Structure 1
């Protein structure tokens, strides 16, 4: 009888711990810095261009017109996520126009980027089970330019790499955070985008903010309390 009681106590606790461990590790975005060169000063503003989609590995349940709309929504969502997160946590940021020209006299930076891999995964598995099943892949390559030196050569380049395996559903409910709400609204509610990718967009935006924060901190332009440590890619 004691053994049965112990079994009933230990097994559920162990199962819960295993699920918690798995759940905590199934959604993340990391940064891999490629190049970093010194630039002269802290900018007063950051422009964020739409990330390019040409040449990216898109594996989603859409094609033709729907795929083009999917890509457009993803571009708008990430641009909005970056400008919002940068403005809230680090420095004023605004969206750059598609063909916008920039004056070299302006003390500002420009973020350009490319989507390199977007895998939607299984929405059904994420929505009903979660815990790593049907995981997404969300990867970008980012270049940052000092506009006072032109836009020919970036002074900072890095990649963001990650994905998620959990989505609000029958088993794993995740509270929607404020940045995700802003991102979804940017694409008209993001009805055509899987929620897993919406959350990956928010995580990616935060890591881009963190990478810029780290660069500024290393150059002693911001204090330690303003520093946001990026999540470095494990190699």
Structure 2
């Protein structure tokens, strides 16, 4: 039995997220599994490093699957890319040890979020960024990013209802780069809760327009109340860049 690691890129615009659904074929996992099963002549289940929400994109999603197929990896990759929709691309296939698990072996992830920050929207950036017309104070947002960095209980920045699992996460780095009218936010951490980055982004934008102070982040950590944080920004600005092992 071979264990194959996949590096996958996709435009999530027209999909309901990564995880396959029983009542829909519009998921990334479902599309890939269908082609894999046809190619290997057996049912193939793939394990992703984690879910991405509907509309979220990926440059470096990682998954793995096990197969008895003897097909060469390059031929396997080319077959997948021939029959997958054009907005899903398998960038790389690697044979890995049997015990490799795309989700459980992951030690961290890097995400990007893009904000188109100008009064006039963009016809081209609309699918891959969130249009925020109000001027943003990047200095204040950077102050908030420093407070967010480190190990904290991020339950107040999550859409989770109740969970027995730990909601403590470590954010190693948050950076903001201005690329013309585009603001590029990069998040690196050991893991992220459900909608955590999108809620952090909504909070940062409220700090950027002066509705909240950077110090409000500490209040959120203490209260753990979701309604004290900012809005959940739309998914189209979010990219999974890389998964670390």
Q: Shorter-chain-normalised TM-score: which range?
A: under 0.3
More helix by proportion, 1 or 2?
1
More strand by proportion, 1 or 2?
2
Scaled by the length of structure 1, the TM-score of the pair is 0.27
Scaled by the length of structure 2, the TM-score of the pair is 0.26
